Amino acid sequence: MSRVYDRVAYIGLGLIASSMIHAGRRAGLQGEIVGTARSAETRAIAAEDGLCDVVTETAAEAVKDADLVVLCVPVGAMGAVAEEIGPHLKPGCTVSDVGSVKRAVIEAVKPHLPEGVHFIPAHPLAGTEHSGPRSGFAELFENRYTLIVPEGDTDPQALARLERFWAGMGAHVELMEPEHHDLVLMVTSHAPHLIAYTMVGVADDLRRVTDSEVIKYSAAGFRDFTRIAASDPTMWRDVFLNNREATMEILGRFIEELMRLQRAIRKGDGDLLHEYFTRTRAIRRGIIQAGQDTSAPDFGRGHGQGQSKG
């Protein structure tokens, strides 16, 4: 794979950024790699490990002469970062992101970018419950989808270049409208995370009564809830605050479905329950057939591995 960008700047050096660095370096997609993070400790680790060719103290320094700038910070911080880097961006460069919400990111970032800079939001549907500059690995995006969410008159050459970059890291690349993205991700990722956080919270209350039996006797279903609920709390706080409309819509539908199952259980309606579980089982089979998971024990994941990024 030939080089796509000569100089790439990563703002934020957590799981996604570090995985992009490893994957892009392995495939020869990027030349000089510049990175920065808000935390001095994170910057020190990145410098010590040689994660980046250059580690800067500020985002403004990092983006100088960059051909691609990737915002890998929580959704709630993107507006402030865009404001900081705007005056320092090279004409013709591309600014992208990896946020789980798109409409709010577009509204926060776009006003701060100068004319001649291409803003092309993106969202890789891959991750684990781990975070930090040492959590990334080159294989994270292989056979996973990355949604690119252009808006308005996006330069076709800049768009094709970003698509090539993500494809080179092993991702399946598709284009999507911002509003549709936010609704789809609320169903497939955001709502399941909210439910997982709630279920683990309920279990925590129960644990106080049962003297740690919830932890001791956790079955596979609850263990998967706890894996999902271990995801970065700052990121998920910002996701829900910046995707409120879709959150409320899907939560309303979820409550309706939950009440429907509650009535069926109360009435002893085994036919409805069996039909419902058969339909939802088919969805799981569809995910496996699409190559987005495996039917192997423990979902084929080794210890510490998982897919919990939204």
pLDDT tens digits in sequence order for the chain, 310 residues long: 689 999 999 999 999 999 999 999 999 999 999 999 999 999 999 999 999 999 999 999 999 999 999 999 999 999 999 999 999 999 999 999 999 999 999 999 999 999 999 999 999 998 877 889 999 999 999 999 999 999 888 999 999 999 999 999 999 999 999 999 998 888 877 777 788 777 777 776 666 655 566 666 556 667 676 666 677 777 778 888 888 888 888 888 888 988 988 999 999 999 988 988 888 777 767 766 766 665 555 544 453 444 445 5
Dihedral of alpha carbons 126, 45, 33, 98, sign: positive
What pLDDT does residue 292 have? Answer: 63
- H-run or E-run covering 7: strand 5-11
Provide the residue type at 126 as one letter.
Answer: A
pLDDT of 186: 84
Please give the CATH number for the structural domain made up of 5-177: 3.40.50.720
| Distance from C-alpha of 22 to C-alpha of 142, rounded to nearest angstrom | 12
pLDDT of the residue at 201: 74
For residues 266 and 269, give the distance between their C-alpha atoms in angstroms, rounded to a whole number: 8
Tell me the CB-side half-sphere exposure of residue 54, using CA atoms within 13 A: 17
Indicate the helix (H) or strand (E) that contains 302. Answer: none
Q: Please choose, from the candidates 158, 86, 91, the residue with its C-alpha nearest in 3D space to the C-alpha of residue 121.
A: 158
Where do the H-state alpha helices sit in the chain? 15-27, 40-49, 59-62, 78-85, 103-109, 156-168, 178-185, 191-210, 213-216, 220-229, 233-241, 244-267, 270-289
User: Domains of the chain: which residue ranges?
Assistant: 5-177, 180-300
Domain 180-300 has CATH 1.10.3660.10: yes
CA–CA distance, 300 with 281 (Å, rounded to integer):
18
Residue 216: its pLDDT value, please? 63
Q: What is the pLDDT of residue 150?
A: 95
Q: For the chain, what is the largest distance between any 2 Cα atoms, rounded to a whole number of angstroms? A: 67
